[in-house]
Structure 1
Amino acid sequence: MQEQEKKVSSARAILIETVMFFTYAFFAVNWVAGSTLTPQIMKSFNLKSFASATFISNAITIAKIIGNFAAAGILVKLLPKKAIGLGSGLIVAGSVLALLAPQYWIFILGRFIMGFGGALYVVYFSPVVIHFFAPEKRPAVNAINNVAYNVGGIIAMLIVGPVIQWMQTWQYSMAFFAAISAVLFIVWPVLGQDFELNRSSGADTEKYTIGDALKEKNNWFLPLTYSGLLTFYIVLLNIFPISGITVINSKTLSTLVAVGGVVGSILAIMLSKVYFKRLPVIRWSGLAMILFGALMFNTKNGTLSMIAAFAIGVLMFLPITSLVMIPQEMPNMSPAKLTTIMGLFWALSYVIESIVFYLIGIVIDKSGYSAGLTIALVMSATFFIGSFILPETGRSAKEKNQ
């Protein structure tokens, strides 16, 4: 297949990427809005226990795991245009069902459907990248996709408060964000395009299943490496802001982590143009993240604490592009095979994160926030350790130019 046949026009590719990016970013906005509105939602459904409200988070997590496992099968059956449209449609449908829910269990079901759609969407980024973008452009596009959720979080920080104040009720507020997702869902059929799933950079590949993926050690090493960073990130967003253990407001530090993530993704794009190895970026970013995490949790200097928080965000997102490039650069990789690998990657990452997150909660109940946060920091070391067991798929600058 000629390169011209394989790639669509750059303008079409950029439009497809833009719609997908903002669809996932506003999935994040909707999720953050739902978390921010938890007190109103609890009051609306007459919930007295905060534990009951945690079912919302659990529904999203379970949906992500199931959706990640199912993503490859759905892609093969529906083909890319309809599969991606389904993910976008489920985000909208789940949002609408939740805001119209007459009972709490229907609200939970709506959030589950929304989470399932988001889980499909995050997996479908990878096959779209390797089909629509040339190899030299993929690191930059991956970096942009990796920060979509963070961008959504920052958008939420800026507009959720004003929207809630404007709309008054949680239903109207969530309807506002659902409407934006609906517009993106409507736009997708106009821009979306199907493509051949089993065509690799080498030759045609045979059907590749989850069972096949589970037999390959690298498909276990990838989520094991990422799970520690994912756990640390989720703890920083959900537990750290209410911990009160730092010298300055923990919410401020969490915001700096999010902003640092955006900067880290920008730096990843710049780095990808001059440095083509994968493991050193993962290794040294992982080590530095641990050191800055220890500094943020223990320093009594407010300025140092803020610098550390920003650095953690940068160091979390700088190496993610290198990590997701590893499966993309494997020999004879096709969109279908990559979707299966990335579905397994996200599913196992969230399974591990969910277990560790629950254990951290138990530790916090028994020993306090400092102990729980320390476990999260130690867990993040899997990113550093994984850099010694993953394969190096990148090349040196000299090899790249040959």
Structure 2
Amino acid sequence: MTDAPDATASSVPTVPPATRYLVAAILFLTYLLFAVGWRAGDHYVASHGFNASQTALLTNAITIAQVVGSLVAADVLLRLGPRNALTFGSALIIFGGLISLTSAYPLVFFIRFVLGLGGALTVVFMSAIVAKIFTGRELQVVNGVNSVAFNTGLAVALTFAVRMDANPTGAVITAAALSAAILALWLLVSRGLPKERASEVAVDASYTLRDGFREWFNWVFALAYTGLLSYYIVAFTFMDADTVRWVVYAGVIGALSGTAIAAKVPNVLKPRVVVVSAAVQLLSAAAVLALTEHRFATLVGVILGLAIFFPMPFFVQLAFIRPGATPRQISVTFSIFWAVSYAGSVVFIQIFAWIADATGGLGPGNVPVSLAPLVFIVIVEATFLIGAILLARHLARTRSEEPRSEVAA
């Protein structure tokens, strides 16, 4: 069985290859530097000695902002257009550098919120912008590479973790300065993108966020990712840094290999890959917890990193292979995706922190003294497996019904 052609192909304007790939690189680097700025801010927050609940709330300042940003991102993109929309999102990420000027908790919270808002807008814009200029296998590859942008940013941050600990203020400023440089490049390159016709904008506007919330697929797609996102945010904030470092490094390799393989795997098999990988994820997450101080901890951390990020190019592509998906529908899907998953993660991370505070608080390296909160977050991570199974069944049913609908038409 061959895959159906991309539903968005007919609406994609011709853009020179050099411009397309440069735009893709800018989008990737913008979100990568958001991750670096987030992690640099974590070091800055840690240097002020806040407790687990305060630290979690400052992390949730970003995730709350991402809920808000995700909900409005599709409409911001529609109103401002790709060039101005990404410029706005990037400017908010750069604003995150102002955290280096204050230690007052309310101001730190506000600046972290603005940083998160910029990241939320940017990640939705990424999916919509690439859908407008790429098709087919190129689109799959670009989406796969973009899915590892945040993790690559974390890998960069972890590589320079010692320097960030020594000079957290300098790390925050450096991340903001690099983001400003990428924004300047975007303002130059984006001039070469074709302007959307008024008729195209009108068609896009006909599919609203309310329409998106009525779709079963969008809810399950988002809720499936909620547990995985919660687990991952807790991991790089509250778990053993040595183990997490290997999880992140392996994640980069996993996502890149997943991208290369996903481009060659038929669409009918993609949901199955996600289900199998989700099962391996859950087993690996439990194993990391059980073998924290064991000699195999590093090996299990590597397996976990591969299992988390290898299926992401496949998982993201599920939104694109739905029959009749348009760039506007894709942007709405990812608005809901990030809003719901980050909203859920806010709740789960705060519960994690409350459990940590109630069972002994944080020890060296911001790691909980008790295993109880870590067991809780592993259980939460299971939602990815549950959601993957439901999505696989849904897409299989949709595919089996497609020929009958064509005959009826």
TM-score, scaled to structure 1: 0.85
* Counterpart contact for 2:77–2:85, Cα < 8 Å: yes
Q: Indicate the SS of the match to 2:296.
A: helix
The corresponding residue for 1:23 is 30
The correspondence for 1:77, drawn from 79, 84, 88, is 79
- Kindly state the Cα deviation for residue 24 of structure 1 after the two structures are TM-superposed: 1.1
- The answer to whether 1:327 aligns with 2:319 is yes
CA contact (8 A) 1:205 1:332 kept: no
Q: Which residue does the alignment assign to 1:369?
A: 370
Q: What displacement does 1:328 show?
A: 1.4
Deviations 1:108-166 (A, max 9, x none): 3222212111110011111122222221122221121111111111111223533665x
Q: C-alpha separation between the residues in 2 aligned to 1:2 and 1:137? A: 12
Number of residue pairs the alignment of both structures matches: 376
Match of 1:265 among 236, 255, 274: 255
How far does residue 284 in structure 1 lie from its aligned partner after superposition? 0.3
What's 1:254 paired with? 244
The aligned residue for residue 128 of structure 1 is 129
Cα deviation, residue 239, structure 1:
2.1
The code of the aligned residue for 1:74 comes to: V
Q: Show CA shifts across 1:62-118 (max 9, x none).
A: 1111111110111111011110111011111232x3233485433332222121111
Alignment of 1:159-170 (within 5 A): 159-162=160-163, 165=166, 170=168
Cα shift at 1:342: 0.4
Which residue of the partner structure matches residue 17 of structure 2?
10
Letter in 1 for 2:222: P
In 2: Cα distance, 1:300 partner to 1:358 partner: 23
Matched, 1:109 2:116: no
Alignment equivalent of 2:290, drawn from 291, 294, 298? 298
SS class of match (1:302): coil
User: Shift of residue 54 of structure 1?
Assistant: 4.4
Q: Does the CA-based 8 Å contact 2:271-2:318 persist in structure 1?
A: no
> Partner of 1:184 in structure 2?
182
Q: Distance in 1 between matches of 2:257 and 2:319?
A: 21
Quote the residue 2:395 is aligned against: 392
Do the aligned partners of 1:198 and 1:205 also contact (CA within 8 Å) in 2? no
Letter of the structure 2 residue corresponding to residue 214 of structure 1: F
What is the CA distance between 1:296 and its match in structure 2? 2.2
Which of 317, 333, 350 does residue 358 from structure 1 map onto? 350
Aligned to 1:15, the other structure's residue is in SS state helix
How many Å separate the matches in 1 of 2:373 and 2:280?
Answer: 20
Q: Which moved more, 1:226-235 or 1:366-375?
A: 366-375
Give, in whole Å, the separation in 2 of the partners of 1:50 and 1:387.
32
CA distance in 1 between partners of 2:50 and 2:286 (Å)? 37
8 Å CA contact retained: 1:13, 1:133: yes
Q: 1:400 is matched with which residue?
A: none
- The residue type equivalent to 2:330 in the other structure is L
174-183 or 366-375, larger mean C-alpha shift: 366-375
Per-residue deviation, residues 283-340 of structure 1 (Å, max 9, x unmatched): 0001111122222222488343222111111111111111211111222222222111
Change in CA separation of 1:146 and 1:369 when aligned onto 2, cut-off 3 Å = farther
Residues 262-298 of structure 1: CA deviation (Å, up to 9, x unaligned): 0111221221243222211110001111122222222
Please report how far the alpha carbon of residue 374 of structure 1 lies from its aligned counterpart in structure 2 after TM superposition: 1.8
Aligned CA distance change for structure 1 residues 50 and 321 (closer, same or farther; 3 Å) = closer
- TM-score w.r.t. the length of structure 2 is 0.84
Q: Structure 1 residue 51: deviation in Å?
A: 4.5
Counterpart residue number, 1:244: none
CA-CA distance at 1:50 after TM superposition: 6.3
CA contact (8 A) 1:150 1:261 kept: yes
Whether contact under 8 Å (1:282, 1:383) holds in the other structure is: no
| Amino acid of the structure 1 residue aligned with 2:380 | M
1:156 matched to 2:135? The reply is: no
Match of 1:285 among 277, 289, 292: 277
SS of equivalent residue, structure 1 residue 82 = helix
**Match for 2:311: what amino acid?**
P
* Percent pairwise identity: 27
Distance, in Å, in 1 between the alignment partners of 2:385 and 2:142 is: 24
Whose RCO is larger (CA < 8 A, sep 6+)? 2
CA gap 1:206/1:383 in 2 versus in 1, 3 angstroms: same
Q: Retained in 2: the 8 A contact 1:197–1:336?
A: no
Q: Take 1:7 and 1:178, find their aligned partners in 2: how far apart are those partners?
A: 33
User: Partners in 2 of 1:73 and 1:185 — Cα distance?
Assistant: 21
1:223 aligns with 2:222: yes
Q: Which moved more, 1:257-266 or 1:136-145?
A: 136-145
In the superposition, relative to structure 1, how do residues 131 and 256 fare at CA in structure 2: closer, same or farther (>3 Å)? same
What is the one-letter code of the residue matched to 2:17? Answer: S
Whether the aligned pair in 1 keeps the contact of 2:164 and 2:170 (CA below 8 Å) is: no
Q: CA deviation at 1:212?
A: 0.8
| SS of residue in 2 equivalent to 1:327 | coil
2:213 & 2:113 partners in 1: Cα distance? 26
| Structure 2 segments unaligned to the other structure (5+ residues) | 1-7, 360-368, 400-409
Contact 2:230 2:345 (8 Å CA) reproduced: yes
CA distance in structure 1 between the aligned counterparts of 2:308 and 2:150, rounded to whole angstroms = 13
| Cα deviation, residue 196, structure 1 | 3.6
Instruction: Label 1:220 to 1:5 Cα distance change in 2 as closer, same or farther (>3 A).
Output: closer
CA contact (8 A) 1:72 1:343 kept: yes
Q: 2:94 aligns with which of 92, 95, 98?
A: 92
* 209 and 35 in structure 1: CA distance in 2 versus 1, 3 angstrom threshold: same
The aligned runs of 1:52-67 (5 Å cut-off) are: 52-67=54-69
Letter in 2 for 1:252: D
